[in-house]
């Protein structure tokens, strides 16, 4: 039960912290008729960051498990692991870029 509470708390923080970072834009966009625009951008960045963290954790954990089972294959596992982490990280970079575009 404690793990579930910690996970829900971490997810809540992940969703709310980016919204606070865009709080200044909320006041500016509210005058322009878009009061929820900055909040939506904050949620998008929070969801993308949480997804990237889980994805990268899974990639690295699986690679380390594979290296632990077969240390001789460490060179063959390391490069695809880095490539996979880079692809997952682009999700967050694209989200940050798109959240900066005002529609």
- DSSP symbols for 80-100: HHHHHHHHHHHHHHHHHHHHT
How confident is the model over 70-96, as a mean pLDDT? 88
Q: What is the pLDDT of residue 13?
A: 65
Domain of 60?
A: 2-99
**Neighbouring C-beta atoms of residue 41, cutoff 10 Å:** 24
User: 95 near 44, Cβ under 8 Å?
Assistant: yes
User: 52 near 76, Cβ under 8 Å?
Assistant: no
Q: What is the pLDDT of residue 41?
A: 79
What pLDDT, in 10s, does the model give residues 8-54? 666 666 666 665 556 555 555 554 666 677 777 778 888 888 888 99
Q: What is the number of domains present in the chain?
A: 1
How confident is the model over 75-95, as a mean pLDDT? 88
**Neighbouring C-beta atoms of residue 39, cutoff 10 Å:** 17
Over the Cα atoms of the chain, what is R_g? 18
User: 37 near 29, Cβ under 8 Å?
Assistant: yes
CATH of the domain at 89: 1.20.20.10
What pLDDT, in 10s, does the model give residues 87-99? 888 888 888 887 7
Q: Among candidates 4, 91, 23, which has minimal Cα distance to 55? A: 91
Q: What is the pTM of this model?
A: 0.60
Pick the more confident residue, 74 or 23. 74
């Amino acid at each position: 039960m404690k793990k579930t509470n910690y996970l829900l708390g971490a997810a809540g923080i992940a969703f709310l912290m980016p919204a606070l970072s865009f709080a200044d834009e909320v006041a500016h966009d509210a005058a322009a008729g878009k009061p929820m625009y900055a909040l939506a951008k904050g949620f998008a960045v929070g969801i993308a960051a949480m997804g990237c963290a889980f994805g990268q954790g899974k990639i690295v954990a699986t690679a380390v498990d594979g290296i632990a089972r077969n240390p001789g294959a460490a060179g063959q596992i390391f490069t695809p692991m880095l490539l996979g982490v880079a692809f997952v990280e682009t999700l967050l970079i694209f989200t940050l870029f798109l959240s900066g575009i005002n529609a």
